[in-house]
Amino acid sequence: SEALIRTAFGGTSTKTIPSISSPEAIQNDGPTGYANYPLGQYANKNKDSGDPCAIDANDPNAGFMGNTMANNIVVAQTFNKDLALEWGKTVGNYSLWSNCAILWGISANLHRLPYCARNLEYYSEDPVLSSFMGAEVCKGELQYGVIASVKHFCFNDTEMNRTGVAPFMTEQKAREGDIRAQQSIIEDAKCLGVMTAYNRAGCYTDNAHTGLIKNILHGEFGFRGLISEDFIMDPVYASLKEAVMNGITMSCNTGDNNLAAVAAYYPNLNWNVETVGKDSELQKALKYAMKKQNYALANSNAMDGLVPGAHLETVKTWYDKLIMGLEIAFGLITLLCAVMYFRSKKA
């Protein structure tokens, strides 16, 4: 059940697995630094904990946002590997203070069109330059325990209607373009995370593409780490079962840490213990996904503070409770409106 939840809900943060002390890892998306959360949102505010990166509860810098970094275009324009390495170290240091272990920030798709809305995130139109600069950024982040993650694997050529675009190409074009742009980051720098793309490669969705994920990413590049789908997907379009069978370790969707929430989000999937218990191949794939995902977590700063005898406890923040309260309130209002509507019809 823990594996089913962890794979179904991997967005925003990984779900805890208390039975093996696998921690929650907060995620941040974007290549301009830690832009999603202010420093103090997840920082350790217990100065007596022995954590050298703990901050005071009244720290005036708690609202600092880490999105003041130069974007990837500027990094690539320096043509300087040493500067790219220092960029990665700076981001890695912020990761320790903010308690955000996963950064989807090594964006290494290519500049294909001048009007692509993601061009500011990508290094360049040159796959070799992109790969080498991204690899140095990755090495810098890894020194600080960041789950340094590359995206989008592969062929995210456009932002407009990217959930439906299906680029076709020869294998030579694929290998000399987008795949080459990410190869050194994965193969040489040993990044710990990969995000797939919304688009298809030919007729097959990227997140369930055997050739890309099982054959190239795992087989040829020897990738060892977690793999996420891109952002929050429609539960049908996400193709969760097919994705897991091909090596995806988690979707980017999110919800409460229980199977009831999973069933509500994926109503047609039968992602439950009883159904999956009858599918030995899917069980093997889930085991493989957990092995890869927990390898990444075990080699990251998400493990900082865990000592023998420590245990994990899931708590709800005030905004979790607020959202739940609003959901219940609006649900009751909707139900009341429906009752009043049908009563007025009868009258």
Helix (H) or strand (E) holding 282: helix 280-298
For position 315, what pLDDT does the model report? 64
Phi, psi dihedrals of residue 105, rounded to the nearest 5°? -125, -10
Which residues have a Cβ under 8 Å from the Cβ of 284 and sit 6 or more positions away? none
**At which residue do the structure tokens 């309260």 appear?**
325
Pick the more confident residue, 18 or 5. Answer: 5
In the numeric block, which tokens belong to residue 337?
């409106």
Segments in 33-163 forming alpha helices (H): 72-77, 81-98, 127-142
Q: Which amino acid, one-letter code, is at 63?
A: G
Predicted confidence at residue 156, as pLDDT, reads 85
**Of 61 and 187, which is predicted with more confidence?**
187
Cα 178 to Cα 3, 103, 144, 164, distances in angstroms: 31, 20, 27, 18
pLDDT above 70: residue 347: no
Question: Among 39-53, 137-151, 281-295, 305-319, whose mean pLDDT is lowest?
Answer: 305-319
Tokens linked to 54: 């703990």
- According to DSSP, residue 234 is labeled P
User: At 193, phi and psi to the nearest 5?
Assistant: -145, 145
